[in-house]
Amino acid sequence: MDLRKFIDIARDAGELYDIRKAVDPVRELGAVLNACERAGKGALFHSVKGYDIPVTGALLSSQKRIALALGCEVSEVGARMAAATQKPIKPQAHQGAAPCQEVKVKSPDLGAWPIPTHSPLDPAPFITAGVVIARDPQSGRHNLSYNRMQIYGRDRAGISMNLWRHIKAFFDKIEPQGKNLPFCVAIGPDPVVMMAGAFRYDGDEYEVAGSLRGVTETLPLAIYSQFDQDFDVALAIGALFVLVGVAILLVLKLLPVWTRSSSTSPFRPAASTSS
């Protein structure tokens, strides 16, 4: 399941507000999203002032929407979450070009995307819902996590790596070698990848995502290796955007960005009435 399909499912279930009135990405979008979440709904902002790319949020902030993403009953969510770490499933490797590699932006500009300034005291736009994917330089296991990323410039962002996070341990292993830590940020991936990013698990968290998706489907991955032979982090192939970069003293230096060919308008229009 990709994000587009899940948005359709959430809308059909009455779990999504379609916000068609233009909103300002500086604090207004965050305030409206907070109101939607308090009302128990996710939101899709079709018009963000100054941009032609929509924004969505709060998609997995209720057990009902999590159940919709997993294809199970609400009463089964707890058991599915527990099984994800008890019975991890290794995803199938994707062969050939991945959907998230359809378009390559060689000189990315983070200012060209509607990254919100969420809260009154936020000093700048922050990426908050991107799944940060890094790989242990020793064992090779992948870690998926959420790390607030403050935008510093067109290809620079600060990343919050708390001391207890696995990605910080990865960085501490590789930094004494004089190397940077490669990682990517998946924006708009399969909902199970988003869920796996919230787990604390000592194994490969792509296998948590594989278990959440279930044995009836596979969660194929693509290995990004076209830019640099040292960049071997597996990408969630269905993501709408994938930011690829390296951590240098906890600052992200952005490398070329991969997107899907339709990512300038990544969400299908809804037939429902405007909010």
Asked if 52 contacts 142 with a C-beta cutoff of 8 angstroms, the reply is: no
DSSP bridge pairs for 257: 105
Q: Which residue would you say has higher pLDDT here, 100 or 152? A: 152
Q: Is 73 helix (H, G, I), strand (E, B) or coil?
A: coil
Q: Is 93 left (phi over 0), alpha (psi -120 to 50) or beta?
A: beta
CA 77 distance to own-chain centroid: 21
pLDDT in tens, 194-206: 999 999 999 999 9
Q: Tell me, which fold does domain 77-259 have in CATH?
A: Pnp Oxidase; Chain A (2.30.110)
The whole-number pLDDT of residue 260 equals 63
- Per-residue pLDDT at 251: 62
**Shortest CA distance to 6 belongs to which of 274, 259, 239, 273?**
239
Could you say which DSSP state residue 262 is in? T
Residues 267, 217 contacting (CB under 8 angstroms)? no
Question: pLDDT tens, 159-186?
Answer: 888 888 999 999 999 989 988 888 889 9
Q: How confident is the model at residue 80 (pLDDT cuts 50, 70, 90)?
A: very high
Single-letter amino acid, residue 211:
S
Q: Retrieve residue 107's tokens.
A: 């000189």
pLDDT confidence of residue 99: 77
Could you give the CA distance from residue 134 to residue 181 in angstroms, rounded to a whole number?
8
Average pLDDT, stretch 213-230?
57
Q: Which residue has the higher pLDDT, 188 or 258?
A: 188
Contact 92, 220 (CB under 8 A): yes
Contact 41, 51 (CB under 8 A): no
For the chain, give the percent of residues with pLDDT over 90. Answer: 59
Confidence class of residue 246 from pLDDT cuts 50, 70 and 90?
A: low
Dihedral over Cα of 198, 111, 54, 17: its sign: positive
